[in-house]
């Protein structure tokens, strides 16, 4: 198993105290966490992209550039690049530049994004989101794989003999497809022989297993080697305590206040937006959240691995309102007490 740390760069008031750090301090924390993740031996660090809601992640390329300048070995991912609302030419240019600055450490996770409001913001029809996603992704892939591209589509002007510059560091960077609720992303990933990154953040395990099973079935049907069907899984946040009882007593108020704070009433009943695990006891027992003792978290990740057969586990330490020092302590405990056991029990060929 490989491990990645994800930040969506949330910037909401603390769910219990109402405190809110400055935007500059919050961004500095994200960069410092990436530096610490490298020191602790994590394989990757990912930065989200959001254009609506209480987030500071509207410019992930800028944040990843800062991370590239402060790190040397850790892979730098997006989580996700909302390619459906972006110009693929600009995406190709920006992320190829980052790939050069980081000397080949950039990988994209592409998706339509979890905040519906960004389609209106960019003047796009949300009803066409999957058409936008497919066309723009496939153009991006060509721009990175070919030179002198001739192209014509529906959502941007035609291209004639276009070679985007700069070129990526060493050929086509790996592109993952983020998948949360729809079979469209697993299908597109399977068609092109790309890896799948399932959200595994809100819904019960069975919902994500359905997406992964579809991906593996279609990956082979398209003629790709099943051994290359790499899968990653997210989590609904990480909170470590010495025991389950301590986790409940220490984090119950924090967890349940955060669930209430992030509830989206206009999306009630729509899969993938509001967690059904509204108490911490439910989250520990059945949710994708990694909450509890180190052994409980090991057991949960390995339980997911039995179903998903995933190669990469993503964790998030800044989603519940822990102070930055506590976030770094949580990362260290995960790296020292959890990661070595899971790596041994679930080895992976991802990243060599």
Q: Which residues pair with residue 45 across a beta bridge? A: 5, 76
pLDDT in tens, 245-277: 999 999 999 999 999 998 887 778 777 788 999
Mean pLDDT for the stretch of residues 287-296: 98
Helix (H) or strand (E) holding 290: strand 290-292
Taking a C-beta distance cutoff of 8 angstroms, is the pair 224, 253 a contact?
no
Q: Label the pairing between strands 290-292 and 238-240.
A: parallel
Residue 118 to residues 112, 121, 165, 217, 299: CA-CA distances in angstroms?
10, 5, 27, 32, 37
Task: Give the whole-angstrom CA distance, residue 155 versus residue 165.
Answer: 22
Q: Identify the CATH homologous superfamily for domain 2-345.
A: Luciferase-like domain (3.20.20.30)
b/e map 18-34, b = 16+ CB within 10 Å: eeeeeeeebbebbbebb
Q: Which residue has the tokens 């002198």?
A: 148
Task: Give the whole-angstrom CA distance, residue 308 versus residue 174.
Answer: 20
pLDDT in tens, 203-232: 999 999 999 999 999 999 999 999 999 999
Q: For position 265, what pLDDT does the model report? A: 79
Residue 352 has pLDDT above 90, yes or no: no
Residue of 237, 233, 234, 235 lying closest to 256 (CA atoms): 237
Higher-scoring residue by pLDDT: 273, 300? 300
pLDDT in tens, 29-78: 999 999 999 999 999 999 999 998 899 999 999 999 999 999 999 999 99
What's the number of CA atoms in the CB half-sphere (13 Å) around residue 323?
3
Q: For position 146, what pLDDT does the model report? A: 98
Residue 240 has pLDDT above 70, yes or no: yes
Mean pLDDT for the stretch of residues 162-188: 97
- Radius of gyration in angstroms for the set of CA atoms belonging to the chain, rounded to a whole number: 19
Residue 293 has pLDDT above 70, yes or no: yes
Going from N- to C-terminal start, the domains of the chain cover 2-345
Residue 298 has pLDDT above 90, yes or no: yes
pLDDT tier for residue 116 given thresholds of 50, 70 and 90 = low
Q: Label the pairing between strands 44-47 and 2-7.
A: parallel
Q: Which residues pair with residue 78 across a beta bridge? A: 47
Task: Give the whole-angstrom CA distance, residue 47 versus residue 76.
Answer: 8
Taking a C-beta distance cutoff of 8 angstroms, is the pair 343, 311 a contact?
no
């Amino acid at each position: 198993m490989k491990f990645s740390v994800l930040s969506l760069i949330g910037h909401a008031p603390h769910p219990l105290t109402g405190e809110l750090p400055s935007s500059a301090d919050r961004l500095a924390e994200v960069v410092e966490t990436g530096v610490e993740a490298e020191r602790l031996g994590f394989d990757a660090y990912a930065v989200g992209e959001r254009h609506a809601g209480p987030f500071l992640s509207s410019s992930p390329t800028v944040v990843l550039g800062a991370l590239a300048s402060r790190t040397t070995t850790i892979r730098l991912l997006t989580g996700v690049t909302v390619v459906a609302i972006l110009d693929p030419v600009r995406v190709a240019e920006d992320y190829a530049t980052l790939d050069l600055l980081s000397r080949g450490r950039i990988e994209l996770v592409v998706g339509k994004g979890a905040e519906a409001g960004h389609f209106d913001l960019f003047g796009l029809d949300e009803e066409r989101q999957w058409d936008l996603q497919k066309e723009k992704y496939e153009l991006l892939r060509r721009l990175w794989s070919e030179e002198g591209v001739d192209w014509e589509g529906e959502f941007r002007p035609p291209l004639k003999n276009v070679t985007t510059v700069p070129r990526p560091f060493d050929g086509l960077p790996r592109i993952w497809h983020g998948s949360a609720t729809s079979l469209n992303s697993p299908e597109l990933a399977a068609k092109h022989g790309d890896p799948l990154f399932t959200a595994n953040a809100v819904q019960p395990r069975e919902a994500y297993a359905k997406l992964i099973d579809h991906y593996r079935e279609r990956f082979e049907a398209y003629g790709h080697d099943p051994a290359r069907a790499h899968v990653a899984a997210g989590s609904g946040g990480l909170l470590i305590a010495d025991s389950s009882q301590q986790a409940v007593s220490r984090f119950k108020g924090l967890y349940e206040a955060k669930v209430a704070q992030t509830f989206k009433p206009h999306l009630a009943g729509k899969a993938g937006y509001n967690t059904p695990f509204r108490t911490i006891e439910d989250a520990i027992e059945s949710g994708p959240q990694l909450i509890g003792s180190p052994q409980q978290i090991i057991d949960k990740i390995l339980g997911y691995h039995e179903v998903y057969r995933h190669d990469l586990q993503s964790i998030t330490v800044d989603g519940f309102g822990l102070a930055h020092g506590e976030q770094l302590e949580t990362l260290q405990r995960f790296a020292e007490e959890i990661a070595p056991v899971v790596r041994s029990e679930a080895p992976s060929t991802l990243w060599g």
